[in-house]
Amino acid sequence: MKRPTLHSIISFLFRNLTRYTVIDGDNVPAQGPIILATNHMSRLDVPLLMIATPRPHDLVALVTDKYKANPLFSFMVRVTGSIWLDREKADFTAFRRAIEHLKQGGMLGIAPEGTRSTSRALLEAKSGAALLAEKANVPIVPVGISGTEMANTEWLRLRRPPIQIRYGMPFMLPPIDRADRETSLQCNTDEIMCRIAALLPERNRGFYTNHPRLQELLHPTIEIR
């Protein structure tokens, strides 16, 4: 099966089994390398991202290798050319492949939390996404996905779950301070996650609910001149 066929099948299923909406999809640049940094609360998130991005043809995702035993996910990874990631170690092979894809002008999807949240809210993120953005030197588009965490419950009630995928504005992270690498990397990771949190309903913000940077994003100071 080729990628367009897979895309059509997944799109058909989401259109008929859910009520999903895409908000501010035009925030994704029409071309050029970009990292899509998203939250992850459901196994539906990756296939949803595949059909709800304005650039489905060149999206490659970093997918945890714990899904290798899942026939459906293994099939999707093969068809889309996505990259298996061993999250139990520093997977330099996966990082090299991801950077190569970005250097070719592609789009990379990554969940900075490193795993699926079972709490229906954001977990504390790992630093991999910030490190990858530093190495590749490309913009990041934050993505907030909500509603997928309730899909199974709604289906059991014979309802089509409302799902929302919202795109934020592209941004660049500041260079990592080599004099204090750990602190700088943490600040960049928090920046990514707070921008994702700002796109989510309050119930899904989890670990970052009270983060000062999130409050700045939600309530920007208005300067009067």
Q: What is the pLDDT of residue 122?
A: 98
pLDDT band at 68 (very low <50, low <70, confident <90, very high): confident
Angle at 41 between CA 102 and CA 66, to 5 degrees: 65
Mean pLDDT of 48-54: 92
Question: Is 92 part of any domain?
Answer: yes
- Name the 3-class secondary structure at 44: coil
Q: Which tokens is 34 given? A: 């970009």
CATH number at residue 52: 3.40.1130.10
DSSP state letters, 93-159: HHHHHHHHHHHTT-EEEE-TTSS--SSSSPPPPPSHHHHHHHHHT--EEEEEEESGGGHHHHHHTT-
Provide the mean pLDDT of the chain: 93
Amino acid identity of 133?
Answer: A
Q: How many domains does the chain have?
A: 1
**Domain span holding position 160:** 3-218
Question: Is 95 part of any domain?
Answer: yes
Instruction: Quote the CA–CA distance of 126 and 115 in Å, as a whole number.
Output: 10
Q: Which tokens is 84 given? A: 């298996």
Question: Is 224 part of any domain?
Answer: no
Q: Is the pTM of this model over 0.95?
A: no
